[in-house]
Amino acid sequence: MLEVPADVRPGETIETHLGTEFTARELRGPDLFTHFERTGAPMLPRDVGLLLGETGVCEGDRVLDAGTGTGVLAAYLARAGAAVVTYEQDPEFAAVARENMALAGVDDRVDVRTGDLTASMADLDDRFDLLTLDTGDAAAIAAQAPDLLVPGGFLAVYSPFVEQTRDANLAAANAGLEDVTTMETIQREMDFDDRGSRPSTAPVGHTGYLTFGRRE
């Protein structure tokens, strides 16, 4: 990534020492994937979009998130206006995530805490509008969701594997959450060329499943 001098404004052109020209632009949500330092596998925009749409997260919401990983989801939530408390059990990953939040300009709205959320849940006094989980032990945390959420608050669990997804779905339902639903986003790009238009023949890649539930 090219370090842009502070006085360069979006739209202005700068030149590297090798004479290559770049036009500066404001970092926005999808740029986080290319500019963040990566640790834990980040959620893709299509899954983030489903999560934002299904939970309606907005300005003023309080979100509890785990694990932070790269912090892509946490940054998207903060850019939507939420205040995010996010737990990352790996101290090195947590340090990278803090730098990523600063790069995204949301370090004042994302509190990256080093620690295992399963071990810290009992210490949390706050209640949250949204609980987002992207961890192997999400089912165990989902089972405690009613104690972590405000009435009407949402749980959203992202899991790449169907076994973890089923566990999270059952844990959310057994905990008494309402409208427990699991979905997968299938996304197809369109190709337009001289011969005609059709969905891309490139393989459709699996990302993960999203399970939602809502506190009464």
| Binding interface with ligand SAM (CB under 6 A) | 39-43, 66-67, 69-73, 87-90, 93, 116-118, 134-137
Report the nearest approach of ligand SAM to the CB of residue 100 (Å): 9
Peptide bond into 67 cis (omega under 30): yes
* 20/149 with CB nearer ligand SAM: 149
> Minimal distance in Å, beta carbon 5 to ligand SAM?
29
Kindly state the smallest distance separating residue 116's Cβ from ligand SAM, in Å: 4
Cβ proximity to ligand SAM, 23 vs 187, nearer residue: 187
Burial of 113 (0-12, 13-18, 19+ CB in 10 A): middle
Min dist CB 26 to ligand SAM, Å, is 21
Nearest to 73 by CA among 172, 175, 64, 60: 64
Distance of alpha carbon 155 from alpha carbon 146, whole angstroms: 9
- 8-state DSSP, 184: E
Which position has the token pair 């192997």? 136
Beta pairing partners, 133: 66, 157
Alpha-carbon span 73 to 56, nearest angstrom:
14
Task: Return the number of the residue (69 or 153) whose C-beta is nearest ligand SAM.
Answer: 69
Angle at 107 between CA 214 and CA 144, to 5 degrees: 25
Minimum CB separation from ligand SAM for residue 52, in Å?
13
Give 90 or 111: the residue with its C-beta nearer to ligand SAM.
90
